[in-house]
């Protein structure tokens, strides 16, 4: 297999080859490193890289796999020899903890976040740290600290945010796995725009740190190139830890995913009227819904209706709770170093009148009641497009930039990603899968939203759809890979 294709193996595929002796972790890492030397700069997806250290760990993994094959030695760890990238806003002891900000360029993490430490313990081989917008506060990825991160499928388009660096790196084959955190779509948005699988767990499944641990709208989770890889990472990341008092139990995930034959799946093109959606997006997603039918599911119209304006206002007020007061904590010299969209964040939230927090949750609950009625009637999951459009400029101003969907202007932060309702409700698992390409050459995503804490059904449906409608496209990186042009 050519190096250009080798680096796109899933973790599941790579491990099977390691065990069989048909591939070495060193060989795989070399292909990814060579690609990173060409692509990481133009894509601007890494803040730091650790290839030399990663090569040492790959050689250790190579020896372990060889010993296991030769003499039946200990079975290598689940992620042994697999290249893994960590978001720059997540702590790794002794490494920069920059959070996309010039203010924190010299800050060094004193501890490793629990979710990251668990993946290291499982053998994940850290190769780089991935870019994020300042303070993880946007659905695109650029900042004064890092510059603009670009999408491998089309460099003028954003890879999404806040996990844009992770999405770009995986899409370009520079790593096999990455971690993320989803507060408004920060896993699902980059996964959808980059042709990946991204899973947003229910709240309080994966340990977090600080104020995030008590916020039901936030969740740590995986980005990968397959459902199986996402499921593996989630198994390893989730579960109680004393550092996070909100995580009470592990998810109930069976060893073998159940059959989805006979399951009812409801489809909504606009999440019950909450979004405008580009016709080509809706048409593509609706065309591939047949994949669920081929897997034995019964697909039906959702009949979901949620009042858009009050629901959006409630969401903005909920997000304001976390970001309000951020600017007040910085002095004049510190503000001078902030990215412009952070300086205008208060103005963004002030566009919507304030409402009491009790009213926020009342509106959120009323919206969920519509979806709960479907679940109570036997529907296993809601399926929607993940994004309303792929026409998102890489340098989009996430506060005042113009995004149009179906010819109408929408909110540049929340108006084009069908993600934030899941975060507002908190306990619903959601996964995005690639399902085609838009006319601008950027992938389209299909989102599966499950019942509260029913991860097993979401993964079962995702695996069944992936098997019925496999997505094998790769970004055409001719601008970065002259050997392809010569070939």
Q: What is the mean pLDDT of each run of 10 residues along the chain (487 residues)?
A: 86 98 98 97 98 98 97 94 98 98 98 98 98 96 98 98 98 98 97 98 93 89 98 98 93 94 98 98 98 98 96 95 84 96 92 93 98 98 98 97 97 96 98 98 98 98 98 82 45
Closest listed residue to residue 200, CA positions, set 240, 162, 146, 174:
162
β-pairing, 264-267 vs 298-301, is: parallel
Strands 197-200 and 430-437: antiparallel
- Whole-number Å distance between alpha carbons of 431 and 188: 7
Buried/exposed 390-408: b ≥16 CB within 10 Å, e otherwise: bbbebebbbbeeebebeee
Cβ count near 279 (within 10 Å):
10
- Count of beta carbons in the 10 Å neighbourhood of residue 256: 6
> What Cα–Cα distance (Å) separates residue 4 from each residue in 28, 29, 282, 443, 480?
11, 12, 32, 20, 12
Among residues 49, 44, 40, the alpha carbon closest in space to that of 146 is found at 44
- At residue 481, the pLDDT reads 60
Element (H, E) at 266: strand 264-267
Tokens of 391: 């026409």
User: What Rg value do the Cα atoms of the chain yield, rounded?
Assistant: 21
Closest C-alpha among 201, 116, 134, 130 to residue 159 = 130
Question: Are 251 and 408 within 8 A, CB to CB?
Answer: no
Q: Which CATH architecture is the domain 3-486 placed in?
A: Alpha-Beta Complex (3.90)
Closest CA to 213 of 243, 237, 188: 243
Between CA 255 and CA 111, with CA 234 as vertex, the angle to 5 degrees is 135
**326: which DSSP letter?**
T
CB 134 within 8 A of CB 94: no
Alpha carbon distance 336, 475 (integer Å): 38
What is d(CA 451, CA 448) in angstroms, rounded to the nearest whole number?
A: 10
**pTM of this structure:** 0.97
Dihedral of alpha carbons 189, 192, 197, 201, sign: positive
1 CB-near residues (< 8 Å, 6+ apart):
none
What pLDDT was estimated at residue 351?
87
């Amino acid at each position: 297999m050519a190096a250009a294709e080798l680096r796109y193996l899933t973790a599941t595929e790579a491990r099977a080859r390691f065990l069989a002796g048909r591939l070495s972790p060193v060989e795989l890492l070399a292909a990814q490193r060579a690609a990173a030397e060409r692509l990481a700069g133009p894509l601007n997806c890494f803040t730091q890289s650790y290839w030399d250290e990663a090569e040492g760990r790959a050689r250790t993994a190579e020896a372990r796999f060889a010993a296991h094959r030769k003499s039946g030695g200990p079975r290598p760890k689940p992620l042994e020899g697999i290249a893994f990238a960590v978001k720059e806003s997540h702590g790794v002891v002794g490494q920069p903890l920059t959070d996309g900000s010039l203010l924190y360029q010299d800050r060094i993490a004193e501890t490793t976040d629990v979710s990251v430490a668990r993946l290291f313990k499982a053998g994940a081989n850290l190769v780089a740290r991935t870019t994020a917008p300042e303070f993880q506060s946007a659905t695109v990825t650029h900042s004064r600290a890092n510059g603009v991160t670009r999408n491998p499928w089309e460099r003028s388009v954003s890879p999404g945010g806040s996990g844009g660096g992770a999405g770009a790196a995986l899409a370009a084959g520079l790593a096999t796995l990455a971690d993320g955190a989803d507060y408004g779509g920060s896993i699902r948005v980059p996964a959808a725009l980059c042709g990946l699988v991204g899973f947003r767990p229910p709240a309080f499944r994966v340990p977090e740190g600080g104020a995030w641990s008590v916020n039901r709208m936030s969740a740590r989770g995986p980005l990968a190139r397959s459902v199986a890889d996402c499921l593996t990472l989630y198994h390893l990341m989730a579960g109680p830890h004393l550092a996070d008092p909100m995580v009470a139990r592990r998810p109930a995930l069976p060893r073998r995913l159940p059959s989805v034959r006979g399951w009812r799946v409801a489809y909504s093109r606009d999440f019950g009227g909450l979004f405008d959606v580009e016709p080509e997006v809706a048409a593509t997603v609706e065309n591939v819904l047949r994949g669920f039918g081929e897997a034995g599911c019964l697909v039906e119209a959702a009949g979901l209706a949620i009042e858009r304006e009050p629901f959006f206002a409630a969401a903005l007020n909920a997000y304001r709770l976390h970001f309000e007061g951020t600017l007040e904590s910085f002095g004049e010299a510190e503000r001078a170093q902030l990215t412009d969209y952070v300086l205008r964040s208060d103005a963004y939230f002030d566009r919507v009148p304030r409402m009491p927090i009790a009213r926020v949750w009342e509106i959120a609950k009323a919206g969920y009641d519509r979806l709960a009625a479907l679940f109570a009637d036997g529907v296993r999951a809601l399926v929607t497009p993940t994004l309303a459009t792929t026409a998102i400029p890489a340098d989009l101003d996430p506060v005042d930039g113009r995004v149009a969907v179906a010819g109408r202007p929408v909110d540049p932060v929340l108006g084009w990603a069908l993600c934030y309702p899941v975060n507002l409700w908190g306990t619903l698992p959601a996964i995005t899968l690639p399902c085609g390409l838009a006319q601008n050459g950027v992938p389209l995503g299909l989102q599966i939203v499950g019942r509260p804490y029913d991860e097993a059904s979401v993964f079962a449906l995702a695996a069944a759809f992936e098997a019925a409608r496999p997505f094998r496209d790769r970004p055409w990186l001719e601008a970065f890979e002259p050997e392809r042009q010569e070939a």
